[in-house]
Amino acid sequence: MSSKVIHAIYDDDDVLLHAVKDVKAANHHIEEVFTPFPVHGLDKAMGLAPTRIAIASFMFGCLGLSIAIWLTNYIMIEDWPQNIGGKPSFSYLENVPAFVPVLFEMTIFFAAHLMVITFYLRSRLWPFKKAENPMPSTTDDKFLMEVAVGDNEKKLVYLLKKTGAIEVKVHEKKGES
Amino acid sequence: MMYSFSKNLKIFSLSLMVVGAVALGIGFLSAPTTVEEAKAMVADARGHGGHGGHVDHDTHADDHAVAYKDEAHHSDHHDDHADDHHDNNDEAYAHSDSHDKHLLHQLQNRPWAATYVAALFFMMIALGALAFYAIQRAAQAGWSILLFRVMEGITAYLLPGSIIVFVLLVLSGLHLNHLFVWMDAEVVAHDEIIQNKQSYLNVPFFLARALLYIVGWNLYRFYSRKFSLAQDNDNGIGYHKKNFRLAAGFLVFYIVTESMMSWDWIMSVDPHWFSTLFGWYVFASMIVTAVTVIAMVTIYLKSKGLLEEVNDSHIHDLGKFMFGFSVFWTYLWFSQFMLIWYSNIPEEVTYFITRIEDYNLLFFGMVVMNFVLPLLILMNSDYKRNNWFIIMAGIIIVLGHYLDFYNMIMPATVGDRWSFGLSELGSASLFAGLFLYVVFSALAKAPLKPKGDPLVKESENFVY
């Protein structure tokens, strides 16, 4: 099965942002927008659901903090207590200032790395994956909006041209429905 | 669009001032004048257990006295310092006769120290707001233009606030109180460490420096406000440029004088102790309080139907600064604490031992208020756009940083004789009233929108 999509190409992020709002206002379905850099407010204009990665990040941070607390306690208090600078070495609470840098770093480490990995998994990205990008120049200086074609193709093309697209192409999309 | 200082708020701030002044006056009058009176007061407080603060602290000080008994560097516990020659303010009074005199000084210091904490705290809100304002000007930030008049209103308190602080410093220099032990010739005579610092810590130079800082800050505040108002009715961007250059110059002056001010006015109450990041620590405290007060005043004005163009993105940005500077403050608080705790050098660690033994609840409670609660309340992005959450977090932050200043001044000036009585609440109320009065009357003097600023359109359209 194949479906028709229109690729509208822009060369300015401001124009693109207004175009997205206009196309949404005219009740067309925007499948995807490809940009060389993150455009502020684009996710809101496209009506994407708010990201939940912040919540995931918070939970990863808590996980990292817990692991770090267990780790420092096991290494420095339970398994092999050492006398460092005459500090009491048999109580976690009295030693905790010395461990705070470790707790902090582990929290950041877990939050950052697991957040990136989560993002890759969620976006279905993995090493050697073939790019889904329809036009390589969207990684350079062009912006591409992919719009599903409804009943009236001509009207849509006219609308897109009016929003300031420098090029509008109709595409047959093959594969997944 | 003009703000007019509402009658209710005027009455509120005036009554805060009157009540505060009366309470503080009673605090001053009830301070002991002789050693016998001081001893009687302490015996009385112990006997009846009437004063919440004293009783509370006496019990936990005793607990800690046991816990720290074996600590090599334990030095500052009030009751057994006589045979101890480690660094602390009591060193010059190392025999029991002077112990009583020391007690008298501490009790006499209480109303003075309470006044000094409140005077410093509110002056620093204005000073922090001025620094934040200068950063916006120097960075030519576009988002914050609509908040400039709010910031200028808050910095209006700098002039009266800094003059009051200066007067208090002069009174200390005239030996009307014992806030700064290094000003006491008798103490210095027995104290080699302070003697070595005399070329910096002496009254004339101290006051000359204070004058330099205060004049410099107020000159910037005066000219930036003047140019800001002049820009309103100007078609060019000449005044905007002038303000930009002035702000850049001021920031250089500020970061040096702010640091020195914190050594002079705060760190020198513990003249043996030093911390190299103290200037930053005080800066973090003042800027987070200032941003919080800017946010709270903005929300208050919005609730009166003013500042309509300030949207929740502006509030969101202020919330981010509140969150970020709270974390920054904690970073510095902990850096200072951990290095001193770890190295355990007598003249440094006594600072924290005093606080942990005699001020335990305040010292750690302040960290909860200034770090844990803002962190949890302001972490969520949506909460930073919600006025109620900003106000709630703001109240906690302002109170927490008042306690921070309390913790910086009180241990060195009143020792374990602290509590929250008439002097403390009275001085806080007096200066809060004065602050509100000055800030809101300054806000009423100029239109709230700086319409002539070349970046005002960007601020109106600001959406994150």
Q: What is the pLDDT of residues B99-134, one digit of tens each?
A: 787 888 888 889 999 999 999 999 999 999 999 999
| Residue A41 belongs to some domain of the structure | no
Q: CA-to-CA distance for A62 and A57, rounded, in angstroms?
A: 9
pLDDT at B80 (0 to 100): 41
pLDDT more than 70, % of chain B = 88
**What pLDDT is attached to residue B81?**
42
Report residue B388's pLDDT band, with 50, 70 and 90 as the boundaries.
very high
Torsions phi, psi for B376 (to 5 deg): -75, -40
Chain A residues touching residue B464 (CB < 8 angstroms): 40
Q: Which whole number is the average pLDDT over A130-136?
A: 86
CATH number of the domain where residue A147 is located: 3.30.70.120
Average of per-residue pLDDT across B44-65: 44
- B72 vs B395, more confident: B395
What's the mean per-residue pLDDT of chain A?
88
Average pLDDT of chain B is 87
* pLDDT at B70 > cutoff 60: no
**Partner-chain residue, chosen from B337, B380, B381, that has the shortest CB–CB distance to A97:** B337
How far apart are the CA of A54 and the nearest CA of chain B, in angstroms? 8
Q: Which residues contact B248 (CB under 8 A, 6 or more apart)?
A: B138
Q: Are residues A111 and A151 in the same domain?
A: no
- Is pLDDT above 70 for A175? no
pLDDT of res. B57 = 41
Do A57 and A94 lie in one domain? The reply is yes
| Percent over 90 (pLDDT), chain B | 70
Tell me whether B343 touches chain A (CB under 8 Å): yes
Residues A62 and A32 in one domain: no
Instruction: Specify if A23 maps to a domain.
Output: yes
Of the candidates B72, B341, B464, which has its C-beta nearest A97's C-beta?
Answer: B341
Predicted confidence (pLDDT) at residue B51 exceeds the cutoff of 80? no
Same domain, yes or no: A99 and A145: no
Tokens 């608080």 appear where?
B333
Identify the top-confidence range among A127-136, B85-94, B258-267, B340-349: B258-267
Q: How confident is the model at residue B77 (pLDDT cuts 50, 70, 90)?
A: very low
CA distance B195 to chain A (A): 31
Stretch B181-210: mean pLDDT: 92
Mark whether A72 and A97 lie in a shared domain.
yes
Question: How far is B165 from B121, CA to CA, in rounded Å?
Answer: 10
Establish if A135 belongs to a structural domain.
Answer: no
pTM: 0.85
The pLDDT tens digits of the residues spanning B275-310 come to 999 999 999 999 999 999 999 999 999 999 999 999
Q: How confident is the model at residue B40 (pLDDT cuts 50, 70, 90)?
A: confident
The verdict on B463 touching A (C-beta cutoff 8 Å) is yes
Task: Tell me the average pLDDT across B394-419.
Answer: 93
If you compute the radius of gyration of chain A from its CA atoms, what whole number of angstroms results? 25
Of B89-98, B121-130, B231-240, B259-268, where does mean pLDDT reach its minimum? B89-98
Does the CB of B235 have a partner CB in chain A at under 8 Å?
no
pLDDT of residue B240: 94
**Confidence grade of residue B52 (pLDDT, cut at 50, 70, 90):** very low
Look at residue A27 and tell me if it is in a domain: yes
**Do A67 and A26 share a structural domain?**
no
> B199 pLDDT band (50/70/90 cuts)?
very high
**What is the mean pLDDT of the segment spanning B351-368?**
93
Cβ contact, residue pair A58, B379, below 8 Å? yes
Whether residue A152 has pLDDT greater than 90? no
Query: Does residue B63 have a pLDDT over 50?
Result: no
A91-128 pLDDT tens trace: 888 889 999 999 999 999 999 999 999 999 998 898 89
Judge whether A112 lies within some domain. yes
pLDDT band for B42, please (50, 70, 90 cuts): confident
Comparing A47-51, B267-271, B402-406, the range with the smallest average pLDDT is: A47-51
Residue B96 is predicted with a pLDDT of: 64
Chain B positions in Cβ-Cβ contact with residue A101 (cut-off 8 Å): 338
Identify whether residues A107 and A79 lie together within a single domain. yes
The residue among B190 and B101 whose pLDDT is bigger is: B190
Question: Of B270, B289, B271, B125, nearest to B198 (Cα)?
Answer: B271
Q: What is the arrangement of strands in the sheet containing A30-34, beginning at the earlier edge strand?
A: A30-34, A143-148, A3-10, A167-173
Between CA B440 and CA B445, with CA B441 as vertex, the angle to 5 degrees is 115
More confident site: B85 or B405: B405
Chain A residue numbers touching B338 (CB-CB < 8 A): 97-98, 100-101
Domain tally, chain A: 2
Residue B464, pLDDT > 80, answer no
Would you say residue A133 lies in a domain? no
Can you give the residue range of the structural domain that contains A10? 3-36+141-173
In a domain, A44, yes or no: no
Nearest CB among B338, B344, B381 relative to A100 is that of B338
pLDDT at B433 over 80: yes
Spell B174-184 as b/e; 16+ CB within 10 A means b: eeebbbbbbbb
Domain contains A93? yes
Question: What pLDDT sits at residue A156?
Answer: 87
Residues of B in contact with A87 (CB under 8 A): 342
The Cα A25–Cα B285 span in angstroms is 47
* pLDDT (mean) for B36-40: 79
A176 pLDDT above the threshold of 70? no
Cα-based angle A103, A106, A110 (whole degrees, multiple of 5):
140
Closest CA relative to residue B289, chosen from B150, B417, B189, B401: B401
Instruction: Report, as an integer, the average pLDDT of B430-435.
Output: 96
Please give the C-alpha separations between residue B365 and each of B322, B356, B362, B397, B401, in angstroms, as whole numbers: 19, 11, 5, 12, 11
Query: What distance in Å separates residue B196's CA from the closest CA in chain A?
Result: 30
pLDDT per position as a tens digit, A7-38? 999 999 899 999 999 998 888 888 889 999 99
Q: What is the pLDDT of residue B45?
A: 63
